[in-house]
Chains A and B, each alone.
Chain A
Amino acid sequence: MLKEIQKSLFKKKATVLYPFKERERVHIPEGFRGKIVFDRDKCTGCLLCARFCPSGACEIVTDEKGKRPIFHLELCLFCSQCQEVCPKGAINLTKEFELAAFDRKAFTIR
């Protein structure tokens, strides 16, 4: 074990000084399930996403176009079930992971 400790003394640090330095060392792979992006124009209002959302993060509201989902990120589990069932590909989960905010409104995706 002592040998191992000596070896590690001269190695680069395993931890990243996030968020102040070395942000680029935070590697987020393709296909990461992060913040939801919703394309309102593609949506046809079939409501499958709300039917299968496990946590109630996907709420249906009625606007000028008819019934459309809105997403409450503070309830979302980032399971991507909505993305999977959407027949129009209107929902996408992106690599964006820094989702802290002071205002709840920032969490509602329309």
Chain B
Amino acid sequence: MQEEELQKTEKKSAYELFFDIPVGPQHPALKEPAFFKFRVEGERVVGVDVDVSYNHRGIERALEDRNYIQNIYLIERICGICNVAHTLCYAQAVEQLHGKEIPPRANYIRLMMEELARIHSHMLWLGVAAHEIGFDTLFMYVWRDREVVMDLIEMLTGNRVTTAVNTIGGVRRDVSNEAKDKVKKGMNVLEERLKYYRKVALNDPTVNARCSGVGILKPKDAIRLCAVGPTLRASGVKNDVRKDDPYTLHDEVPFNVITFDTMDVFARVLVRIDETLESVNMVRYCLDHMPNGDVRIKLPLSPPVGEAISRVEAPRGELIHYARSNGTKNPERYKVRTPTFENLPSVSEMLTSKSDYEVNIADIPIILASIDPCFSCTARMEFRDVSKGKTWIWSLKELKAHCSKSRR
């Protein structure tokens, strides 16, 4: 929230007694650097100021210095957990530049890997959320069962997390028949466990007490603040890139877009569990319907001159990649728009008390965790004046002012 808005809330208060609690940038409760300034009145949080610009890594610039093959592995490292979504998005953008389609079997494997990664990401989140509400037993159980999908990913790709499976023109590894059987068995185990966790989430008093009515995001606010992914769907808005703009084979493989209408953290828990169950079914469908054939076509290193945009529904929400090629082996410009960055305005909305809804300090961790934040997604831009050795960051207002000045 901007400074003047904070001031406005100050004037309205009856108590005129506020404290600012700084949290971060390095804080035991946050796994990654981010700075939050909470304005509190007693236990109520009345304002938040978010600063996420501690994690600038210059990836977009670095992409321009490497060739298209090397970039796969750099793109993969934007985020560890979403690595499949990032490489998929990248590979699609580059294939679009080439104007080539990949073989159907490769598409099935891509989709299967994407959904396996979603299962693993959502289960990770469920564990973290359970930990944030102090339900560590659930956290341990979920993470134990998450090992099932981790082992499957390791068997299919050669690594537990960083899969390196998507490449330009297809996938790098085929799926053997024994591997298929093992994945099927793993999916049966996971389905049973997930159904159990769904029951726990619905019936357990701890989950209910800490999650119901906490972190409310109304549908109208969610749309206004451009929330994406499970955060948006938990506010009852049916929006999923996989349905709205199908890529790979999402128009063929059946699945439901999960929404929930209680708009709180509880809804986000259930949306994610149900989505994971959908993913389990999608993986099964892929295994049963996978055609035989090649998994990869050879493409030249340098795509023709052009531009491409590709969208993917990453576990945290909509992911957009933009690529511009000038016909050489390095991209001319590459732009990544990541979901957590889009969800940050919504989280400040959730963290601010309104007339009909209160936010307590104790609820901050779970509300923050409920968007599944991944701060490697954030910090997009900083300015550097090399001659003066100065680095700074502009707010939107300053940036606009600068643009209108230079236009004149």
* Beta-carbon contact of A14 and B154 below 8 Å: no
Contact with A along B56-68 (1 / 0, CB 8 A): 0000000000110
Q: For residue B173, which residues in chain A have a CB less than 8 angstroms away from its CB?
A: 31
Task: Pick the most buried of B67, B71, B159: most chain A CB atoms within 10 A of its CB.
Answer: B159
Given A1-B200, A14-B147, A78–B70 Cβ distance below 8 Å? no
* Beta-carbon contact of A78 and B159 below 8 Å: yes
Nearest Cβ on chain A to B66's Cβ, whole angstroms: 7
- Give the total of A residues in contact with B, Cβ under 8 Å: 22
Contact with B along A14-39 (1 / 0, CB 8 A): 10000000000001010111000000
Flag whether A81 is at the interface (Cβ < 8 A): yes
* Beta-carbon contact of B73 and A77 below 8 Å: yes
Complex Cα–Cα for A78 and B74 (A): 13
Q: For residue B72, which residues in chain A have a CB less than 8 angstroms away from its CB?
A: 54
* Beta-carbon contact of B66 and A33 below 8 Å: no
Q: For residue B141, which residues in chain A have a CB less than 8 angstroms away from its CB?
A: 4, 8
User: Looking at the complex, which one of A1, A54, A80 makes contact with B74 (CB distance below 8 Å)?
Assistant: A54
Complex Cα–Cα for A23 and B149 (A): 21
* Beta-carbon contact of A32 and B70 below 8 Å: no
Complex Cα–Cα for A84 and B72 (A): 14
Flag whether B226 is at the interface (Cβ < 8 A): no
Flag whether B100 is at the interface (Cβ < 8 A): no
- For chain A, residues 32 to 66, give those with C-beta under 8 angstroms from any C-beta of chain B: 32-33, 51-55
Q: For residue B172, which residues in chain A have a CB less than 8 angstroms away from its CB?
A: 84
Q: For residue B393, which residues in chain A have a CB less than 8 angstroms away from its CB?
A: none
Flag whether A5 is at the interface (Cβ < 8 A): yes
Given A14-B144, A31-B173, A53-B70, A1–B154 Cβ distance below 8 Å? no
Minimal Cβ-Cβ distance residue in A for B66: A54
Nearest Cβ on chain A to B131's Cβ, whole angstroms: 15
* Beta-carbon contact of B73 and A5 below 8 Å: no
Given contacts A29-B154, A77-B162, 20 further A-B pairs with CB under 8 A are: A1-B137, A5-B137, A8-B141, A14-B144, A31-B173, A32-B154, A32-B158, A33-B158, A33-B159, A33-B164, A52-B69, A52-B70, A53-B70, A54-B69, A54-B72, A55-B73, A77-B77, A79-B164, A80-B158, A80-B164
Binding site for A on B (CB under 8 A): 66-67, 69-74, 77, 137-138, 141, 144, 147, 151, 154-155, 158-159, 162, 164, 172-173, 196, 200, 204
